[in-house]
Amino acid sequence: MTVEPTTESTPAASDTAPDPVAATTGLTVRYGTVDPDAVEMLGSFPPEQDGPVWMVNLMRYRDRADYADGRDTELTGREADDLYAPLDVLADIGAQVVFFGDVTDQLLGDGPPWDRVAVVKYPTHRSFLEMQTREDFSAHHVHKDAGMEATFIIAGQPFAPPTWDGERPDPDRVPHPSTDEDGPVVVVHVVAFDRDSADTPEALATSIAHMDAYQAHAATVAVPHGVSIDGWFRAEATVVGDGRRWDQVRFNRFPSRAAFMAVVFDPSRLEVQHEHREVAMSDTYTLIVRPQIDTLPASWEGLVDG
Instruction: Let me know if residue 18 belongs to a domain.
Output: no
**Which H or E run includes 128?**
helix 125-132
Specify the number of domains making up the chain. Answer: 2
Question: Residue 28: which region, alpha, beta or left (left: phi > 0; alpha: psi -120 to 50)?
Answer: beta
**CATH code for the domain of 108:** 3.30.70.100
- pLDDT the model gives residue 25: 53
- Read off the pLDDT of residues 140-183 as tens digits, 9 standing for 90 and up: 999 999 999 999 999 999 999 988 999 999 999 999 999 999 99
Q: Can you list the pairs that 5-14 forms with residues at least 24 positions away whose Cβ atoms lie under 8 Å?
A: none
Domain boundary among 138, 157, 176: 157
Alpha helices in 161-295 (DSSP H): 201-222, 257-264, 267-272, 278-280
- pLDDT the model gives residue 7: 34
- pLDDT the model gives residue 13: 38
Q: Which residues contact 102 (CB under 8 A, 6 or more apart)?
A: 115, 116, 289, 290, 292
Instruction: Let me know if residue 265 belongs to a domain.
Output: yes
In this structure, are residues 230 and 252 in contact, taking their beta carbons and an 8 Å threshold? yes
- Say whether 251 sits in a helix, a strand or coil: strand
Domain boundary among 113, 128, 157: 157
In this structure, are residues 195 and 248 in contact, taking their beta carbons and an 8 Å threshold? no
Same domain, yes or no: 47 and 143: yes
- pLDDT the model gives residue 27: 62
Domain boundary among 109, 132, 157: 157
- pLDDT the model gives residue 41: 96
Average pLDDT, the chain: 91
Instruction: Let me know if residue 147 belongs to a domain.
Output: yes
Instruction: Let me know if residue 13 belongs to a domain.
Output: no
- pLDDT the model gives residue 54: 98
Q: What are phi and psi of 136, to 5 degrees?
A: -65, -35
Same domain, yes or no: 188 and 290: yes
State the 10-residue block means of pLDDT for the chain, 306 residues long.
41 47 65 94 96 98 97 97 95 98 96 96 97 93 96 97 92 96 98 84 92 96 97 97 96 98 98 96 97 98 84
- pLDDT the model gives residue 57: 98
Nearest by Cα to 36 from 21, 48, 51: 21
Please state the separation of Cα 87 from the chain's center in Å: 18
Indicate the pTM of the whole model: 0.91
Same domain, yes or no: 250 and 288: yes
